A and B are shown apart, each in its own frame.
Chain A
């Protein structure tokens, strides 16, 4: 096979067995890899009703065909499983260099099955695979774990691991790799913890075979030039990182503020990428084969929040910032560092702390619940302390680490949880940007932005423009982005490469790499197939049309201040058209004709 390694590795932690099987060429062609192929494995082998944290769930680490090549920003892999946060067919995407190394070791997917009797880690060196005792690693944070594993294996090994949050199966737990890159969403770290799997170290000496090296080189160089010529991919993200979005979202009135009670935060500029570059940036950093370098190596000198690490990204800066009514960037970055060290999702935790602040201010919880802290909006020290407690699992923090839906529900006010399908929404207010609201409501993994990033068109003027306040055309826009991202995530490319290239360039590179003739239409059809695959799982897991919605606040309560004052989201004007264009029935169920068309 070209582009694919040709082998899937299975490790059964209950039996202690290690087996290999050939990658099915048809599945590889139709689902590519990563999110698509990993999703197919989980959908085929795991009952959607199974306990996500039980031994019958499976955990798949899968790179894509581009992963490990010199295609631009081709360092991605996905962690795929039944997600414990909300039961969906979860796939969490991460960069770094773990994915390429897994490919070089010879694998299109690593499938973890069962549950180890005691803490273990995996050491994969090409064809040699060992299940090793991890008793000495248990309890360590992600940075120390990475160092300790490397000391026991190879100083150049690439390591994915969980921190203490994953060990105790907190529902917001991530899988971290290379210390600072996260497979952050849907609680995949809790599944790893449930299997007593602390870490995976991998070292590979192989390479990715290319079907047509001359054509691949030409297609890659064209794509790289297009990204480098783009004002965002070529310069903007490197200079300011993703946190540059704080100001533009605020200036259009769509920066969710104080648990989505408002859409405008007057002092947001203090938390934006410009401030980060001036105050904390040590240097930009890219993942494997990246020519964009959006990553931020950062240092905080303020003694109260001193630290050194990476981030925050835009979503994290918002979650611990505007959403908590906080404009202290040092505190925000400290909370981000804590999450990376303990392995917890910054987006969901920031939103959950914001939810707790609203519960507190409305009198639904008191200082007796919050370990004595006055958990009010804008209380910077309390926010950082709650991030620490959630990371370590102390006191009220353990409730926060399960996400805002369970938190708010436990106090009788689930309406204050800013979630879709029990996962926290990211940093774009659907009242100020209509299309992203439809994406949140229909997204297969719940509150999520990366799988349907209509912001690129509705706000960022990237390639095309659509008025964020109108609903017309947004169903088609959402579907296009969702399908494109389904294929892109599965290819191993980075979403940010689309700030410069599109599906046509991705299909051209993929064809030269694999020897399979992918047209743009076929590439998009693969994305549609993957979207429908995830939808089918979710239906079997119990989700219905009633779950394709937004928090009531966003449908009923207008934004109070700023440029989008008075706006609500008009989901009812978009959802029926979305179902129709998807080829689904009025209840949001894929029709038999659509499934046949997609060979599902």
Chain B
């Protein structure tokens, strides 16, 4: 599995992407694992009260997890997960 980080999330991770060899069962497990690696700033960015922060956009294979199963979205070994803060422009 590949996890990609964008915008301010990169400043928390210090890297643009990471390969995860042991795929977590679901998104919650993945984010908990990543929060353990990257620390408090990352955790605050992705979680709010134990749920997904409304200010984070997470895509699994290009689909926003809000249209999937949120933190319970199941993950597979060949998935690509993208993590964005809220961004905008135009």
Contacts and interface: CB of A to CB of B under 8 A. Distances in A.
B62 A315 contact: no
B82 A251 contact: yes
Given A245-B90, A563-B62, 16 more contacts: A230-B86, A231-B85, A236-B7, A240-B87, A242-B88, A243-B89, A244-B88, A245-B87, A247-B6, A248-B6, A248-B57, A251-B59, A314-B90, A426-B90, A455-B90, A563-B59
Interface string B22-40: 0000000000000000000
Interface in B36-85: 54-55, 57, 59, 61-64, 66-67, 82, 84-85
22 contacts: A231-B86, A236-B85, A237-B88, A237-B89, A239-B7, A240-B87, A242-B90, A244-B7, A247-B82, A252-B62, A269-B16, A272-B6, A274-B10, A426-B90, A456-B88, A460-B57, A460-B86, A461-B66, A499-B88, A562-B62, A563-B59, A563-B62
Q: How large is the interface on A (under 10, 10 to 19, 20 to 34, 35 or more residues)?
A: 35 or more
Interface string A205-240: 000000000000000000000000011100111011
Interface of A: 230-232, 235-237, 239-245, 247-248, 251-253, 269, 272-274, 294, 313-315, 426, 449-450, 453, 455-456, 460-462, 465, 467, 495-496, 499, 562-564
Interface centre among B10, B57, B66, B89 (most CB of A within 10 A): B89
A269 B63 CA distance: 18
Given A251-B62, A252-B59, A562-B62, A232 B88 contact: yes
B88 to A, nearest CB: 4
Interface residues of B, number: 24
A237 B90 CA distance: 11
A241 B64 contact: no
B59 to A, nearest CB: 5
A465 B86 contact: no
A269 B16 CA distance: 10
B48 to A, nearest CB: 12
A381 B25 CA distance: 47
Minimum-distance CB pairs A-B, first 4: A563-B62, A242-B89, A232-B88, A231-B86
Nearest to B88: A232
A313 B89 contact: yes
Contacts of B10: 274
Contact of A461 (B6, B16, B62, B64): B64
Given A274-B7, A563-B63, A462 B88 contact: yes
A407 to B, nearest CB: 26
